[in-house]
Amino acid sequence: MAYWITHPAELDERYRQRPSRIGLDTEFIRERTYWPQLALVQMAVGDEILLIDPLIPGMTDALRPWLTDPEILKVMHSASEDLVAFKCACNAVPRPLFDTQTGAALAGIGSGMGYQKLVAEITGTALPKGETRSDWMRRPLSPSQLEYAADDVVHLFALHDEIAQRLQTQSRQAWLQEDCERMLANAENDESERWPHTSMRASQFLDADAQHRLLRLLRWRDVQARQNDKPRSWILDNELATTLAKFPPADPAAMQRQFERFPKAPRKLASQLWQALITPLQDEATAPLVPPASDSNKAALKRLQEAVAAHAATLGLPEGVLASRKHLESWIEQGQWPPALGQWRRQELEHRLQPLIMDAAGR
């Protein structure tokens, strides 16, 4: 049964029961802001579904003990963005965490499976798709919104039980724990990416000076987006940033002329943008550079992908779970194990792929 929770005391009262696990999900809005705005929290507690209004004063404080209690397991699905929403609203993340999407991948059920598909796969229940683009900040929420929200957590315990059993049988519980801890750490340490230019494919078409200019612009953009709570693309879109980096204007007037091709150019921030473009960063000389796309790199990447796919098949894992294209490219370019892949993947892959990396580097 679902209950609409509109007073923090109601949440405090239920917390005294201290369940061993809860199911969690959120609805948040992030279309016009940098930081997610928490609009609704869905919590499965025993046979009850609590629909919690975080817009009510004091409710996020009442949520915090639930999130931080180490004796209560938090079962969530595809939790990464929800974790950031909790961090922003409650200054806490739900730990310990069991992410059913990640667990399903590690158990060999499927990679990146949505909640509806995973529920159908494990329980045979077909969930409706309505309200996916709903306005969750409005009040009151409609009956269809509340029903949709409740469905998002009602099956989490069934997913947890099946996935946990499979992981135990395969001795992969530690894999999931490591991946969940890394997800939590990313949400807690929501710092700006140090080298954002390396994740832009356009960088491979830029020389070293242009990559440095792009780095300056992307760092400036991130600071502006955070300070003004606006999406990055609203501050400076990738196409204009790349154009300014590749074809640097001679002066502010020339930059304004370049703006004419871009209707969404940040004209009000032109002076700041110009300073960001022409001012070297203290650490840019140490910035990793994205090498140009080459036939040898493409061939090396293909060999790595084939080796990863072959080992994933022996483990019964979906392709992409062990290492993404992005991480393999990073390994080829920088010659170092990508930290984002963690330790259990390193144990599974490094000794298998290192010879291929050495060949690609010509060593």
pLDDT on residue 56: 96
Q: Is the pLDDT of residue 362 over 70?
A: no
Q: What would the two tokens of residue 112 be?
A: 């990146």
Average of per-residue pLDDT across 177-192:
92
Q: Which of 35, 76, 39, 29 is nearest to 59 (CA)?
A: 39
pTM of structure: 0.89
Q: Residue 26: CB partners within 8 Å, gap ≥ 6? A: 38, 39, 40, 41, 42, 82, 85, 86
**Single-letter amino acid code for the residue at 359:** D
Q: Is the pLDDT of residue 363 over 50?
A: no
pLDDT tens by residue, 192-232: 889 999 889 899 899 999 999 999 999 999 999 999 999 99
pLDDT on residue 202: 92
φ/ψ (deg, to 5) at 157: -70, -40
